[in-house]
Homo-oligomer: A and B are copies of this chain.
Amino acid sequence: MAQAIRLHQVSPLKASCHQCSLSNLCLPLAIEENDLDRLEDIVQQGKIYNRGEHIFDQSTPVRSCFAVKSGSIKTSIITEGGEEQVTGFFMPGELVGLDSMSSENYACTAKALERTSVCEFPVDKLEELTGKLPELQHHMYHLMSQEIQNSHQLAMLLSKNTAEERIAALLLSLSSRFRRRRMSATNFSLPMARNDIANFLGLAVETVSRVFTRFQNQGIIRARGREVELLDVEALQMVTRDFARQGQ
């Protein structure tokens, strides 16, 4: 439904992983300088999606996985009943579609949260290449296992933690991902709506809103709309850890 004006080159340009500023976060980080050409050979670079456009759709044939170059993406699964579950947010340098690797159809839908550019890796070519470059294969396994761990972490959050703990954890996760990219870890703009946060964390929007105000009143964060400033990171970490202690 949001497949309208998709901007991209008619013949996609060969990517230039060599010059990419994300080469220390993305797939190139696993590859020797002189093997990088082989990755460039299979990448299609620079497709740009507008806010709300779909990068791929659940239940359509898998062709590629995608690295975020700029912007951000949310993935979600839709049930038969039309209910949505947000399964992840992806920022520059991160790989989207690992849950569909080597599957027939995409397991989720990926949607641009803002104007977003991606690099596309055709799965068949990627598999072929990882068969030849053991370090790349190793890295793929690593990324996929990380993805499983992330998802287990989310399950843990959902089943054991309070609304405040979940939101604190999300803010800290975003913070550290901004830091990885050498951006401010305390002062950033949320790429997603409250609604998406709520859905992702298994909460009602109202609850998310309330927790944001509560954190603000406690002087832990400052938030106006999507602009967020973490005023007291330690306090946020305390919020997420307080829970861990209840166990004993």
Contacts and interface: CB of A to CB of B under 8 A. Distances in A.
Contact of A148 (B99, B127, B134): B99
Main SS class of interface, A: helix
Given A87-B152, A87-B155, A134 B131 contact: yes
A127 to B, nearest CB: 6
Interface stretch (A31-39, A41-49, A77-85, A221-229): A77-85
A101 B214 CA distance: 40
A130 interface: yes
B85 A159 contact: yes
Task: Name, among A148, A243, A244, A248, the residue most crowded by chain B CB atoms within 10 Å (CB to CB).
Answer: A148
A248 B145 contact: no
16 contacts: A80-B244, A81-B245, A82-B247, A83-B243, A87-B152, A87-B156, A99-B148, A101-B142, A102-B138, A103-B142, A107-B149, A127-B141, A131-B132, A131-B134, A131-B137, A155-B155
A140 interface: yes
B201 A159 contact: yes
Interface residues of A, number: 55
The 3 A-B pairs of least Cβ separation, nearest first, read A159-B202, A81-B244, A79-B242
Task: Name, among A102, A127, A246, the residue most crowded by chain B CB atoms within 10 Å (CB to CB).
Answer: A102
Contact of A81 (B84, B101, B199, B241): B241
Given A80-B244, A131-B137, 19 more contacts: A79-B242, A79-B243, A81-B247, A83-B246, A85-B155, A85-B160, A87-B155, A98-B145, A99-B152, A101-B141, A101-B145, A103-B149, A108-B152, A127-B134, A127-B137, A130-B137, A131-B131, A140-B141, A158-B158
Interface of A: 77, 79-85, 87, 98-103, 107-108, 127-128, 130-132, 134, 137-142, 144-149, 151-156, 158-160, 199, 201-202, 241-248
Nearest to A128: B134
